[in-house]
Amino acid sequence: MIKACCFEDNAAFWGGALSCWGGSAPAVSESYFARNVGEEDAGAIHCVNGSHAQIRGNFFTANRAKYGGAIHCLQGSAPLIAENHISGNVATGNSSAISCFGQAPPQITGNYIALNMVEKDDRYAIESVANSRPVIKGNYLGENRHLKGAGKGLHANAEFSGKKDESACEELEPKTKEEILGALTAKKVIPPPAAP
């Protein structure tokens, strides 16, 4: 269990703050991830090779990676990503907030995902490629951007490396922004006070 921890200014090739491998299933909650850098994947948390992490009630901001500014899911990993505040993260390749790649089926529910940035044209906050099958329910996705301006929150069924991708997403009617922010505030999943 990883609870009420602060991960700031860390760097790695995969997973600037945490990397979860090979069937690992840590519970990560009530923690703060800021200014972590993944050189390739996952500015903050990398889930790979069947990892089933429980990522709930955390705050992610100003993390940076090529793929997955905050979280990257790879090779069959199926983390639960729930009730997190994910804002101000950056990707240089795709997926400014959460990247789903290589048959990864994460459950993404009740998150506030806004004000993230991809430093390329026409990329998105959550991207599902290479036969990933995330279930995306009741999140607020808004004000995410790419170099051409405001970007859509979700992208699936794309071409990848010249091959037709068979990704599938289920995105149900989202809650209102105020409801999700209210719930996260009540659970204290809010930004910590600014440093003096």
For the stretch 151-178, pLDDT in tens is: 667 877 655 556 666 677 777 667 788 8
What's this model's pTM, rounded to 2 decimal places? 0.90
| Structure confidence by residue, pLDDT tens digits, 82-121 | 999 999 999 999 999 999 998 899 999 999 999 999 998 8
Q: What's the average model confidence in pLDDT over 67-94?
A: 95
Q: Which of 73-82, 122-131, 140-149 has the highest mean pLDDT?
A: 73-82
Tokens of 82: 């729930």
3-state helix, strand, coil in the chain (%, to 5): 5, 40, 55
